[in-house]
Amino acid sequence: MKKYLISETLKTKRTMLRKLIIFIPILSVVLASIFGFLGGDINSADITSINHWSLLWLPALIVLLTGMFHKLEQNSTGYKTIFSFPINLRKSWISKIILLSLFTLVSSIFLGILILILNFTIIKASTNGILIMGQHLSIVPFYNYFIAIIISWLVSLWQIPLCLWLSKKINFFVLLFITCAANLELGAGKAVSSLWWMNPWTWPLRLQCPLLHLHPNCLPLESNSALLNSGVIPIGILLGVFLFLILTFLTGFSFKRSEVH
């Protein structure tokens, strides 16, 4: 498996894939800061960027990475090299998923670092127009931010094998639209439902609630809110990991069978 992973990693050298894992978190934080500034509450930019990350930017990053990875393979050899050599196709497929999972993990950690900087050194506009530095006093411990980001990454992993498989079947822009629309409509809209556990698009936002004390719509939760129940976290993690493994197996099986086409 190590040789397969090295091979897949080398394919991404000097490509936009590696740049995206840095660019997308920066874009997320910058836009959250702009919205916070325009709304008169720049101090909410850090926690808002986490909410937007799980809701939109992480799914978009997954589609971009999987779509570009497929395009890279398609433009290079049209998968002919993979299918013509005596290699284990399932291992090749799994190595692609592992690599993209690591890319999204690095991107998520980088987001946490950016939020750490933003959390303790927030740029505020004074009345005379001079930019000064201020400190943001959060209502939740900062390590909860990192935990929320990592959990969002973990329960979103299932989208990687699915999007990687779909990128070979449908147009990239169609996949991007469908994925973002599903996360916006099925994610934020259904996360507060009692049946949230049946809808994988709700998992990142629902599991963040007790960690960030934040409603999926990005409003603060009341102290007696049922959404603060932390018992949903282990349930969501188990469901996320299970779905990721199932989709990895099924898409890997499909990729292996494509050898005959």
Give one word for 222, left, alpha or beta, with left for phi > 0 and alpha for psi -120 to 50.
Answer: beta
Nearest-CA neighbor of 216 among 14, 25, 17, 53? 53
Using CA atoms, how far apart are residues 153 and 240, in angstroms rounded to an integer? 10
> The whole model's pTM is what?
0.88
Nearest-CA neighbor of 176 among 50, 62, 72? 62
Q: Tell me, what amino acid is at 240?
A: G
Domain extent, residue 174, equals 1-126+133-257
The number of beta carbons lying within 10 Å of the beta carbon of residue 28 is: 25
Tokens 């439902």 map to which residue? Answer: 193
Long-range pairs, 14-19, Cβ under 8 A, ≥24? 15/68, 15/72, 16/68, 17/65, 17/68, 17/69, 17/72, 17/103, 18/103
Counted domains in the chain:
1
Using CA atoms, how far apart are residues 97 and 81, in angstroms rounded to an integer? 19
Using CA atoms, how far apart are residues 106 and 71, in angstroms rounded to an integer? 22
Using CA atoms, how far apart are residues 109 and 112, in angstroms rounded to an integer? 5
| Residue 158 near residue 247 (C-beta atoms within 8 A) | yes
What confidence score (pLDDT) does residue 87 get?
A: 72
What confidence score (pLDDT) does residue 245 get?
A: 97
What confidence score (pLDDT) does residue 129 get?
A: 46
- With b for 16 or more beta-carbon neighbours within 10 A and e for fewer, the 66-75 pattern comes to bbbbbeebee
pLDDT 10s per residue in the chain (261 long)? 778 788 788 888 888 889 999 999 999 998 888 876 665 555 567 788 898 999 999 999 999 999 998 888 777 665 655 655 667 778 888 999 999 999 999 999 999 999 888 776 654 443 344 444 444 445 677 789 899 999 999 999 999 999 999 998 898 899 999 999 998 888 887 888 889 999 999 999 999 999 988 888 888 888 888 899 999 999 999 999 999 999 999 998 888 776 544
What confidence score (pLDDT) does residue 260 get?
A: 44
